[in-house]
Amino acid sequence: MDIGFIGLGNMGQPMARRLIEAGHKLVVYDTRNDAVAPLIALGAQTASSPQDVADRVETVMASLPEPHIVAKVATGEGGVIHGKRIKRFVDLSTTGAKAAIDIAAALAKKNIVQVDSPVSGGVGGAVKGTLAVMVSGPTADVAAVKDALAVFGPVFVIGEKPGMGQTMKLANNVLSACNMAASCEAIVLGVKAGLDPKIMIDVMNSSSGRNSATQDKWPKAMLPRTFNLGFATALMTKDVRLALQEMKALDVPHDIMDAVGRAWETCIAELGPGSDFTEIIKPAEKRAGLVVGGK
C-alpha cells in the first residue's frame, strides 16, 4: 500500500519504519531532515510539505505532538487538505474529540475522510509493534487501512463517529496518569516508613495494587532512576488536560482526575515539559525529603 507519513518523532519514526519493513511504500515528511534520513535509507521517498505528501498518495498518516499542529498539517496553508490525491487522513496523534471532530468537518468539505487512530503503548510498543490502536471512522475507510494499522499492534474499532477513538485514548491515558501519580505517593509512603521500594513493587505486582505503573514504569525507569522511557511530561500533561476538558464538557464526575491533573501540573512546573514522564516521582520525593531507588 502507498502511504504518506507525516511526523517522525519518538513515536512516528518507529511506526513508519515498521510500515516499510512490512512492505508498504512510504512518502514521508518531517520538519527535521535528521528524522527523515533513516527512512530514506530504508527506501522511503521524501516530500517537501504535507500538501506534497497528499499530492502523491491516497492515504496519509500523521503522528504529531499537539492538536494545533495536527490542525495546521491537516487543514492549514500547505496542509493535506490541498492535496490532489488524498482520500483519507489517518491521525495517529492524541488531539481530543473536539479537535478531531473539527478537523473531520473541514476535511469533509474536500471529500477527504478522517480516520481517528490514536495509539497507546509508548515508544517501546511502537518499536515492537505492540501498540493498542484505537480506530474510529467510516466502515469502508477503516477497512481500507486496518491491515496497515495492524503493523503497529492490535486494532480496536471503537465506532464510526469522528472523535470516538480520541475519547477512548483519553480515558486510557488519564487512567495511566492516575496510576503513575498514585503509585508515587504510595511508594514514598513506604520508603518514608523504612520499606524497601523494590520489595514494595514486587508485593504490589503480586497482589491487588498492581497496575501499568508498577508493572512497567517502576521496574524499567523509576526504581533504577534512568527516567528514559521516551515520553515527555508535556505530552502526558497535555493528555490529562484534554481528558479533563472532555469530562467537563460532557458533565461527568472528575474529582479524582482533578487531583491527578494537579500532580501533573506540579511535575511540568518543577521539571519542565521536556522531562521524561517517569520523573513524576521527583516532586513527591522533594516534599517527603527522600530519594526512591537507585544504586
The string of pLDDT tens digits covering residues 181-216 is: 999 999 999 999 999 999 999 999 999 999 999 999
191 and 284 Cβ atoms separated by less than 8 Å: no
Residues 273 and 194 in one domain: yes
Q: CATH no. for residue 215?
A: 1.10.1040.10
How far is 121 from 108, CA to CA, in rounded Å? 30
φ/ψ of 79, rounded to 5, equals -85, 175
Q: What is the pLDDT of residue 128?
A: 96
| 295 domain-assigned | no
Residue-range definition of the domain harbouring residue 224: 167-288
Contacts of 272 (CB under 8 A, 6+ apart): 233
Mean pLDDT of the chain: 96
pLDDT of residue 183: 98
Choosing from 127, 160, 193, the residue where a domain stops is 160
The verdict on whether 238 is a catalytic residue reads: no
**Distances in Å between the alpha carbon of 115 and those of 37, 103, 175, 209, 271?**
27, 10, 24, 36, 35
pLDDT of residue 113: 98
pLDDT digits (tens, 9 = 90+) for 204-249: 999 999 999 999 999 999 999 999 998 999 999 999 999 999 999 9
**Count of domains observed in the chain:** 2
Domain check: are 273 and 253 in the same one? Answer: yes
pLDDT band of 58, cuts 50, 70, 90? very high
Residue 268 lies in a domain: yes
User: The domain spanning residue 155 has which CATH number?
Assistant: 3.40.50.720
Which residues, in sequence order, are bridge partners of residue 245? none
Cell of 210: 498492581
On whether the CB atoms of residues 148 and 19 are closer than 8 A, the answer is yes
Q: What are phi and psi of 29, to 5 degrees?
A: -145, 135
Cα four-point dihedral sign 139, 143, 148, 151: positive
Residues 6+ apart with CB under 8 A from 13: 35, 38, 39
**Mean pLDDT computed over 142-146:** 97
Bridge partners, residue 45, by sequence: 27
Residue whose C-alpha cell is 535528521: 34
Same domain, 118 and 200: no
Please report the beta strands in 33-192, taking only residues with DSSP state E, as ranges in sequence order: 45-46, 59-62, 88-91, 113-116, 119-120, 132-136, 155-159
Contact between residue 95 and residue 129 where contact means Cβ atoms under 8 Å apart: no
**Mean pLDDT confidence for 156-176:** 96
Catalytic, out of 25, 161, 169, 217? 169
How much is the pLDDT for 294? Answer: 80
* CB burial string 139-148: b at 16+ within 10 A, e below: eebbebbeeb
Which residue do the cell numbers 481528558 mark? Answer: 243
Percent of the chain at pLDDT above 90? 98
Query: How large is the average pLDDT for residues 149-171?
Result: 97
Average pLDDT score over residue span 62-88: 97
State whether 175 and 136 are in the same domain.
Answer: no
